[in-house]
Amino acid sequence: MTRGSPFADATPAGTRFSTEGVRNEAATTVLGTDASARYPLPAMAVRIFISVDMEGIGGITTIRQTTRGTDDYEWARRIMTDEASAAVAGAADAGALEIVVSDAHGSMGNLLPQELDPRAELVQGSPKLPWSMLTGIEEGFTGCVFLGYHAGAGTASAILDHTFTGWFADILVNGQAWNETHLNAALAGTFGVPVLFVSGDDGCCAQAAERLPWVKTFSTKAGFSAMAGRSKSPKTVQEATRRMVADAVRHADRAEVWTPEGPFTVEAHLASSALGDMLSIAPGTERTGARSVSYDAPNVRTMYRMLLTWVNLGHRVGPKTPVE
Ligand SMILES: [Zn+2]
């Protein structure tokens, strides 16, 4: 890893985004009373990172709702923003003094900045580099929250299941299916940051619990199929999100930093042979079949970077995907 590159193991001191002006006055007041008795962590240190995808947001079920340019998208992005604000409020209720929200769906410019709880700062961008859904994460966050997440590619009866992009039929790490929750939890682990809370459909929550048993989950909906499901009301989801995020942040000391040990062989099953052609040009990527590639990575960050490389190469020849 090159020293000074944006992918360096630690963010260089002094480059961290200033938190001036985003202090949470209410929390400061509460914490001023008897912080040590209420919070297991030093109160001033509570910093929360929130990654927000769209497919698992309460009230969102269809591709029209998650796709920019449709008549449904505008209200869907508003309830996505409201759910993100509920998580921000929950983190603030629990005393977080710095809260960063990272927009993690599609073009990663969905959340409405003017409607997001102003106690958070917002990360957006397209392509959002270096860490895609987790861009903005760094060492020193107390914990992270994954909101509106969904089950991995190839999960039955899970609304809009996919992993990173609709044309990955499967992502396997050392032979096991890893979804976005797992990949992002492992990446967060390289920064020493534990996952505290995950929300999304039933399938997403079950998959989070499989590998991250300490994580609190909240199911926003249940899928009958990939394209149909039964969702809780956005209002109900937002209320539960605020309450559960607050609880998860208060008990952040019970969460574990997930640091699965490498090396990792990551294998992608693809929708077409054209994708196999394209992804194989990445140095070190092995073509394991007409529609599959694999890569041996020494550590999580290198694996994650190759996945991002594949996603970005594949955009040239892959089908335009309704989920991302
Ligand atoms: Zn998404």
The domain that holds 188 is classified in CATH as 3.40.50.10780
Considering the domain boundaries, does residue 205 fall inside one? yes
Q: Residue 174 Cα, ligand 1 centroid: separation in angstroms?
A: 24
134: DSSP letter: G
Q: Residue 294 Cα, ligand 1 centroid: separation in angstroms?
A: 24
Considering the domain boundaries, does residue 80 fall inside one? yes
Return contacts of 124-133, CB within 8 angstroms, 24+ apart.
127/312, 128/102, 128/103, 129/6, 129/308, 130/6, 130/7, 130/305, 131/187, 131/304, 132/104, 132/108, 132/164, 132/304, 132/308, 133/51, 133/53, 133/102, 133/104, 133/108, 133/180, 133/184
Q: Residue 27 Cα, ligand 1 centroid: separation in angstroms?
A: 31
Q: Residue 257 Cα, ligand 1 centroid: separation in angstroms?
A: 24
Q: Are the C-beta atoms of 280 and 268 separated by less than 8 Å?
A: no
Q: Residue 107 Cα, ligand 1 centroid: separation in angstroms?
A: 9
Q: Residue 311 Cα, ligand 1 centroid: separation in angstroms?
A: 14
Considering the domain boundaries, does residue 4 fall inside one? no
Number of domains the chain contains: 1
Q: Residue 305 Cα, ligand 1 centroid: separation in angstroms?
A: 19
Considering the domain boundaries, does residue 134 fall inside one? yes
Q: What is the pLDDT along the chain (324 residues), one digit of tens a residue?
A: 333 344 444 333 333 434 333 344 444 333 433 444 445 555 458 999 999 999 999 999 999 999 999 999 999 999 999 999 999 999 999 999 999 999 999 999 999 999 999 999 999 999 999 999 999 999 999 999 999 999 999 999 999 999 999 999 999 999 999 999 999 999 999 999 999 999 999 999 999 999 999 999 999 999 999 999 999 999 999 999 999 999 999 999 999 999 999 999 999 999 999 999 999 999 999 999 999 999 999 999 999 999 999 999 999 998 887 778
Considering the domain boundaries, does residue 235 fall inside one? yes
Q: Residue 211 Cα, ligand 1 centroid: separation in angstroms?
A: 21
Considering the domain boundaries, does residue 11 fall inside one? no
Q: Residue 160 Cα, ligand 1 centroid: separation in angstroms?
A: 9
Q: Residue 190 Cα, ligand 1 centroid: separation in angstroms?
A: 23
Considering the domain boundaries, does residue 118 fall inside one? yes
Considering the domain boundaries, does residue 96 fall inside one? yes
- CA separation for the pair 207, 229 (Å, rounded): 18
Q: Residue 142 Cα, ligand 1 centroid: separation in angstroms?
A: 25
Domain that holds residue 83: 42-154+179-254
Q: Residue 40 Cα, ligand 1 centroid: separation in angstroms?
A: 34
